[in-house]
Amino acid sequence: MTSTLPFAELHLHLEGTLEPELVLELARRNAVDLPFRDVDSLRRAYAFADLQSFLDLYYANMAVLQRPEDFADMTRAYLTRAAASGVRHAEIMVDPQAHLARGVPLETVVDGIASVLATSERDHGVSTLLIAAFLRDRDEDEALDVLDRLLALDAPIVGIGLDSAEVGNPPSKFVRLFDRARTAGLHRVAHAGEEGPPSYVVDTLDLLQVERIDHGIRSLDDDALVARLVADQVPLTVCPLSNVALRAVDRIEDHPVLTMLDCGLHVSVHSDDPAYFGGYLDDNLAALTTALGMTDEQRRRLAAHSIQASFLPADRRDALLAEIDAPSD
């Protein structure tokens, strides 16, 4: 198996990289009282029946993030682990609303993360871009206000995303938000078709005019949508271990990602919330190899798709693709 292929991590929630050890370390630093005695008891809570059960713990653990150095430590820990897994470029999502709702100033969030991302390539060998993701179970007016505040801060974001609870929160709720982002020259991505129906993928493309779909596995339930996605080569950032952890797919052996790849969809593999879902990028790739017999050629195509779907400048993107195309030793 080729182990040196460069990958881009495009579907990664920074708050979802909070390992139990760091959660407890930050809790002690900030005198936050958590209902867990030790790392083992907290880790046992990282087992979920569905998306909502995950979100409950995900937001509860955020209580330990209070100061810029907390956000910096979280970012640094992710980059260290990502580099070890073969990630050479990461487009990292952060949820500003989740922190503002806790009374943490926007500047605290942005400054802490940006202080580490500014030197990520030098320090970790990973180039980075930051995406502000908005919570679809909250009000669009709130999201518009937060986006305007980010723009007024000149926050180093290249795009916006849409995440959190999908069912009952259709893309049509956020048309003005995505119009505003497009006018501001920002890239647009959004979760769709994880637990929601294929129609959410269609509406995300048509109403929000996104450049990438995060997840999109439910697209397979609509043949016309699959044909459209193949024809337009719309990137789908798929997260196998996450899908299994949240019961969107029963077993890793049942995951459709390689079927999607081989039918011409522009899929790539990512880790989503790796601390909570059992693995980082290398863990996802290893699981696909063990459970589905992923070949070196499929792995190479997934790597190339991840780079192609990124928002990297053309020269950096082409250099990474050249590494993938180079003959292996």
Active site residues: 194
Query: How many whole angstroms separate alpha carbon 277 and alpha carbon 272?
Result: 8
In the chain, the largest separation of any two C-alpha atoms, in whole Å, equals 54
Tokens of 42: 């907290």
Within 8 A by CB and 6+ apart from 16, the residues are: 58, 272, 273, 274, 275, 276, 277
Which amino acid makes up residue 69? E
Residue 286 host element (H or E): helix 281-292
Residue 315: exposed, middle, or buried by beta-carbon count in 10 A (0-12, 13-18, 19+)? Answer: exposed
Phi, psi torsion values for 88, nearest 5 degrees: -110, -15
Residue 45 is encoded by which pair of tokens?
Answer: 């809570």
CA distance 237 to 89: 14
Closest CA to 78 of 113, 51, 27, 105: 113
Structure tokens given for 41: 């008891």
Q: How many residues does the chain have?
A: 329
Helices and strands in the chain: count of H runs, count of E runs? 17, 8
State the residue for tokens 């995951």: 255
- Among residues 52, 136, 34, the alpha carbon closest in space to that of 95 is found at 136
Cα separation, 287 vs 296, whole angstroms? 14
